[in-house]
Amino acid sequence: MKKEFHWIVGAMLLASSAQAGEVLRLKSGNVRMGRAAAPIGPSLRVPFGQEARYFVLQFGHAIGMTEIRALEAAGLQIQSYLPDDAFLVSGSVSQVELVRATVPSVNAASVYLPEWRLSPNLFDRAVAKRSMNLLVTLGKGEVPAQVASVLRSLPGVLQVNEGSEDLVVRAKPAALTVISQIEGVTWVEPLPALITWDFPVQSDDGSNPPNPSTPPAAPTPPPVTGFESGTKLMNFDAAWRRGFTGKGQAVSISDTGCDVGKLGALHGDLENVTNGYAIGFGAMSWEDPMGHGTHVIGSVGGTGRMSGGQIRGGAHEAKLMMNGLWSPIMNNLAFPQDFSKIIGGSLRDGALINTNSWGNPNALGVYDSLANKIDAYTFDHPELLVLFAAGNSGQDIDADGHIDPGSVSSPATAKNVLTVGASENTISAGGIQKSLGELRDGAKKWGVEPLKSDKLSDNAMGVAAFSSRGPTSDGRIKPEIVAPGTNIVSTRSHHPTAQTLWGEYDSEYLWAGGTSMATPLTAGAAAVARQFLVEKRGMARPSGALVKATLIHTAFDLYPGQYGEGAGQELKVRRPNSDEGYGRVDMDKATGLSDETQLVDDAVGVETGEQRSISVQVAQGGSIRATLTYTDAPAAASAQKALVNDLDLMVVTPSGETRTLADHVNNTEMLELTDLVAGTYQVVVKGVSVPQGKQGHQPYALVVSR
């Protein structure tokens, strides 16, 4: 639990009130902004002869356009929102004093202290380390070369590499304090180490699928059940029968690459791949020397040609594009952590859905710089839906028979992405059929019943034990949805060094498992749902938030899970929960929404204090399900709470009673009301606080059915 500090720092902290905006909620700890008589004077200095240029201004109520315009009029640049009711700004002492003197709602002001700029994760790793690799985030408007020059002059800083936005620094742990004192540095955290989220299955006896460097003859696959691709449990068949196959849609996949990386020479199922980008450091091709990306792209939209249509992706008529993140220099995932470079090319080519099956296993539950970056990119491109795999860090270390919370990895911890966990497929032959207790470290990770005896794909109502669980460290619901991710068959890379993952299905396909496999299936679902919204519901350009809301709204609740109710119950509460989110993707329901279902894609949105409503006529004993999703502004990596713009979803009954979740943490909310009295209900979206909207407003998407 974080400490709450009561700061009285002389000239640093100014006027407070007993209203809102008293506590500054930072990862370094809560700061109670106290009273101080003295102003921030023009002689204030910070180390190395610098003048203070970064300040925190906290207001006594929810921030609106009046406060924003006042800051801009004073010449201050808003850097980011900080909870509660505060902005990190850059400018001069005199500009801060002007705002204090002219804006009555300013509660307190402070320089942005060095200790607020350091991730607590740094200190967990600094013990006994001779050097650390750091990601140093700079404020808006800073010149990286200038800050890098200052950093290179510091004792204990061993190396500084300049990126497009951030600096990568190798330094001794003792240098952390001085690095945080440099004006222009707004956040310092451990450098992310990124991996793919295919789950490695190795038994305690050391056995594993064969090494592909000397591939044996392809095995004879078991009889086809229809479940191999994972699409059957997601009810894709119903969507396909209605003509929704992803046609007219485009999906980009950011992964290890695609097969041999040459159009015209790709796997026979990948005929809808239109182009690819080599993004990994030193890469000259978007080929897949690992095999992961080829399996993933097949789950999104493989046509099934090489299997006679038996094994194909969810959106098998969508256009596919590969953003190759593999670095031949590092022989691993290594690429610029700049989403304009990762996604920008394919977005310009028309791919409005992007899927990612990778993340940082060292940043569990954390909203960090990478999560901030993808939230910023999606906030600037609201038509885009980005999906991330939740991770494969699920385990039961406390041995209570239930998977421990808090293991979702960054950047799946971002607010605006659709975070996908893995549910169990239904496969009893082929792939990996061992019990969890038989896998490497199985006794440690899943050594208590009912987990120990559970198999990876024996119950469609189950969530895969390895699938990362929420909530995030600030309490948000992640993952938001699940899809089959165990014993999934998809396309095989024919690159000579590609791995066989969970084993060969035949010469053209491989078995694999992980949230890596669940996520591209969900991306295929997003493409199909988007086609439905365009063609059936007449929405020419649905937002990413509306596509996300549609999948969440129609998901199938897996409660109580694969072990039933009672002792050992897997899902302790109905959705939403931190195991399944809102449930498993259901494409029958997603493409079967009736014309009575109301879809709102409000590109203007609401401002602070404003509300909008729609009417719903309900018969006696009827029900209402309302799902609100919005693409929020990016949070500061230093903030303890990631939500910036806060909207509330409410239902007002015919008698005037208001029912609401009063959720001030998540940017997705669902209200499900049943056994209602007959009458007209109002479904209301209210702007509780919109400090960083678009022209002061927060756009939103709303799906309402009865």
Pairing mode, if any, of strands 132-138 and 29-33?
unpaired
Nearest C-alpha neighbor of 341 from the set 293, 256, 277: 277
Within a domain: residue 420?
yes
End of a domain among 491, 522, 553? 553
For residues 370 and 429, state if they share a domain: yes
Within a domain: residue 572?
no
Euclidean distance between the first and final Cα of the chain, in Å? 41
Identify whether the C-beta of residue 484 lies closer than 8 Å to the C-beta of residue 194: no
* Residues facing 167 on adjacent strands: 136, 162
Within a domain: residue 567?
no
- How many Cβ atoms are within 10 Å of 557's Cβ, its own excluded? 17
Alpha carbon distance 232, 669 (integer Å): 28
Domain at 605, CATH number: 2.60.120.380
Within a domain: residue 21?
yes
Pairing mode, if any, of strands 273-278 and 319-324?
parallel
601-644, pLDDT tens digit by residue?
Answer: 999 999 999 999 999 999 999 999 999 999 999 999 999 999 99
Which residue type does 73 have?
Answer: A
For residues 212 and 160, state if they share a domain: no
Within a domain: residue 568?
no
pLDDT at 218: 59
End of a domain among 525, 553, 581? 553
Within a domain: residue 578?
no
Number of domains the chain contains: 4
For residues 325 and 385, state if they share a domain: yes
pLDDT at 421: 98
Cα separations (Å) of 456 from 70, 466, 557, 568?
58, 9, 20, 17
223: pLDDT confidence band, cut at 50, 70 and 90? confident
Q: Report the SS3 class of residue 362.
A: strand
Alpha carbon distance 653, 683 (integer Å): 9
Identify whether the C-beta of residue 457 lies closer than 8 Å to the C-beta of residue 425: yes
222: pLDDT confidence band, cut at 50, 70 and 90? confident
The domain in which residue 11 lies consists of: 4-116
Alpha carbon distance 346, 279 (integer Å): 12
Alpha carbon distance 300, 315 (integer Å): 6
Cis-peptide into 411, omega within 30 deg? yes
219: pLDDT confidence band, cut at 50, 70 and 90? low
How is residue 309 written in tokens? 């249509």
Please state, for a pLDDT cut of 90, what percent of the chain lies above it. 87
108-160, pLDDT tens digit by residue?
Answer: 999 999 999 999 999 876 555 789 999 999 999 999 999 999 999 999 999 99
For residues 503 and 629, state if they share a domain: no
For residues 173 and 210, state if they share a domain: no
46: pLDDT confidence band, cut at 50, 70 and 90? low
Q: Residue 369: which H helix or E strand, with range?
A: helix 369-380
Identify whether the C-beta of residue 636 lies closer than 8 Å to the C-beta of residue 82: yes
358-407, pLDDT tens digit by residue?
Answer: 999 999 999 999 999 999 999 999 999 999 999 999 999 999 999 999 99
Alpha carbon distance 514, 680 (integer Å): 45
For residues 621 and 694, state if they share a domain: yes
pLDDT at 127: 57
Nearest C-alpha neighbor of 357 from the set 251, 273, 440, 435: 251
Identify whether the C-beta of residue 292 lies closer than 8 Å to the C-beta of residue 253: no
Nearest C-alpha neighbor of 388 from the set 426, 424, 351, 414: 414
Identify whether the C-beta of residue 319 lies closer than 8 Å to the C-beta of residue 527: no
Within a domain: residue 563?
no
pLDDT at 217: 54
Cα separations (Å) of 45 from 51, 54, 155?
5, 12, 21
Cβ burial 160-194 (10 Å sphere, 16+ → b, else e): beeeebbbbbebebebbebbbbbbbbbbbbbbbeb
For residues 364 and 302, state if they share a domain: yes
Please state, for a pLDDT cut of 70, what percent of the chain lies above it. 92
412-470, pLDDT tens digit by residue?
Answer: 999 999 999 999 999 999 999 999 999 989 999 999 999 999 999 999 999 999 999 99
For residues 369 and 453, state if they share a domain: yes
Alpha carbon distance 96, 86 (integer Å): 13
Asked whether residue 276 carries a pLDDT value surpassing 80, the answer given is: yes
Domain at 185, CATH number: 3.30.70.920
Identify whether the C-beta of residue 524 lies closer than 8 Å to the C-beta of residue 517: no
Torsion sign, CA atoms 421, 423, 429, 434:
positive
How is residue 271 written in tokens? 């005929």
Alpha carbon distance 377, 382 (integer Å): 9
DSSP conformation letters of 448-516: STTTTT-BTTB-TTPBPTTS-----TT------EEEE-SSEEEE---STT---TTEESSSSEEEE-SHH
Within a domain: residue 11?
yes
Q: Which residue has the tokens 């290890």?
A: 256
For residues 127 and 108, state if they share a domain: no
For residues 111 and 221, state if they share a domain: no
Question: Averaged over 184-213, what is the pLDDT?
Answer: 76
How is residue 415 written in tokens? 């607010």
Q: Report the SS3 class of residue 123.
A: helix
Asked whether residue 19 carries a pLDDT value surpassing 70, the answer given is: no
Question: What is the SS3 string spanning 328-396?
Answer: CCCCEECCCCCHHHHCHHHHHCCCCEEEECEEEEEEECCCCHHHHHHHHHHHHCCCCEEEEECCCCCCC
pLDDT at 202: 66
Nearest C-alpha neighbor of 85 from the set 99, 67, 103: 67
Torsion sign, CA atoms 149, 153, 157, 158:
positive
Alpha carbon distance 94, 100 (integer Å): 10
For residues 186 and 282, state if they share a domain: no
216: pLDDT confidence band, cut at 50, 70 and 90? very low
93-102 vs 65-73: helix axis angle to the nearest 10?
A: 140
151-174, pLDDT tens digit by residue?
Answer: 999 999 999 998 777 999 999 999
Phi, psi of 364 (to 5 degrees): -90, 125
For residues 354 and 404, state if they share a domain: yes
Asked whether residue 214 carries a pLDDT value surpassing 70, the answer given is: no
Identify whether the C-beta of residue 462 lies closer than 8 Å to the C-beta of residue 571: no
Question: Averaged over 312-335, what is the pLDDT?
Answer: 97
pLDDT at 575: 95
Q: Report the SS3 class of residue 108.
A: strand
End of a domain among 94, 116, 138? 116
